[in-house]
Amino acid sequence: MKVILQRVSRASVDIKSAEIQGIDAHNVDAEDLHDTQPYHAAIGAGCMLLVGVADGDGEREVEWLAHKISHLRVFEDSQGKMNRSIHDVGGQVLSISQFTLFADVKRGNRPSFVTAGKPEHAKTVWLAFNEALRAEGLTVQEGRFGAHMQIALVNDGPVTIVFDTEEIGL
């Protein structure tokens, strides 16, 4: 899994149309019908997470990342040092699934996404990751898997941290 964490003072996601990437909006299963409707989610201070999933990712990566992110000290204390976790500041999470984190740009001018997880697997793992964050006691807002989203954020710091479970040997 790859996660880009951005410390934010606020962040939001909007879906303004029924355009779902790779899915015919007229033939959407009833379970995914909410994915075709206008949608808005927003958080105040906290972390916005861009989350990419590979086919080999599963429970081990989900649990490690959820624990690490929920305890990561990236918020400033009274001395201005990054000594406080998202729990300490009462922050929230906005989680956005983003397969483009697996873009391979070595050849040509069009990125290849062959290392990104298959949609069914990626959605399952991303949702499990969001639930694991909630199990860590965090309030989590979500984008919509596979939707064309418009994301707004105010990066606080700026603080941006990259997690790649393959690079750390998970």
Looking at 6, 36, 92, 98, which residue is catalytic?
Answer: 98
What are the structural domains of the chain? 2-164 (3.50.80.10)
- pLDDT greater at residue 28 or residue 46: 46
Coil/strand/helix, residue 102? helix
Say how far apart CA 1 and CA 62 lie, in whole Å.
Answer: 8
Percent of the chain at pLDDT above 90? Answer: 84
**Confidence at residue 92, expressed as pLDDT on a 0 to 100 scale:** 98
Q: DSSP letters of 15-72? A: E-SS-BTTB-GGG--GGGGGGGS-EEEEESSEEEEEEE--TT--HHHHHHHHHHHHH-
Whether the link from the prior residue into 119 is cis, omega within 30° of 0, is no
- CB atoms inside a 10 Å sphere around CB 169: 5
pLDDT at 23 over 90: no
pLDDT confidence bin for 17, thresholds 50/70/90: low
Give me the catalytic one of 37, 100, 150, 160.
Answer: 100
99 counts as catalytic: yes
Which one is catalytic: 99, 102, 145, 163?
A: 99
pTM for this model (two decimals): 0.88
User: Is 165 considered catalytic here?
Assistant: no
Give the mean pLDDT of 91-98: 98
Cα 39 to the center of its chain, rounded Å:
16
Burial class (CB in 10 A: 0-12, 13-18, 19+), 29: exposed
Tell me the pLDDT tens digit for each residue of 107-150. Answer: 999 999 999 999 999 999 999 999 999 999 999 999 999 999 99
Q: Which two tokens stand for residue 35?
A: 């994915």
Known catalytic residue: 6? no
Average pLDDT, the chain: 91
Q: What is the average pLDDT across 77-102?
A: 97
Residue 97: pLDDT over 90 = yes
